[in-house]
Amino acid sequence: MRALIFDCDGVLAETEGDLHLPAFNRALLEFGFDLEWTRADHADRLLTGGGKERIAGLLTPEFVAARRLPTDPSQQRALVAAVHARKTELLGELLATLDLQPRPGVNRLAREALDAGWKIGVASTSAKPAVTAIVQRVLDPDIVEALTIFAGDDVEAKKPDPAIYRLALAGLGAEAEDAVAIEDSRIGLLAATGAGIRCLVTPSLFTAHEEFAEAFRVVTNLGEITLADLAVALT
């Protein structure tokens, strides 16, 4: 059984700048974090997999003291969870206002895979409600119905840890040598290859500067490749 596994953000659509970043900033403001990430700040945060992990990374002793945030570890975990839940809500609200388009070639390549009998999935370390909302917005309905979503809620360790890809392989019933992953970031690439999966990279606006030496191919967008190109990588 062959499988094609897409990352979500940056692969299916350019979602970081107009969705995730403003949703993070609004949620952080609402909870008294008194900061606003710039696009450069957000690019740095994307080097850490998982939204909760990015929020938790802010909670240095100095940051906590300056903003009178909780110092108890359990209270901090609850705060991070609450901020992230609100960020996910805000992302849904923002998504409803945007004309979000899939990146070139995404729907065509997914349909080629389905027509050829491949399993398809989405493996992301974002929250499942956010991934689901984006998938439903940018992919054709028949593709959405046919794929399986694996999200950050499903694993403890986030990319670059390979846990999400190992879960995807198990869920799709495929072996690593029979799967291709499509990623836009280095941490995603390392997660896929760490699970033994060949990975194609299509850099996004926030990741074009990153290093992708482990990828079997790097393309500007998925309009440049066909399923036959991916099949060759599996031979």
9, 72, 153, 229: the active-site residue: 9
Catalytic residue flag (residue 34):
no
Which residue in the block uniquely carries the two structure tokens 């986030």? 158
Catalytic residue flag (residue 178):
no
Structure token pair of residue 63 = 């940051």
Which residue in the block uniquely carries the two structure tokens 């941490």? 187
Give dist(CA 131, CA 8) in Å, integer.
7
- 8 A C-beta contact, residue 129 and residue 86: no
Q: What residues are annotated to the active site?
A: 7, 9
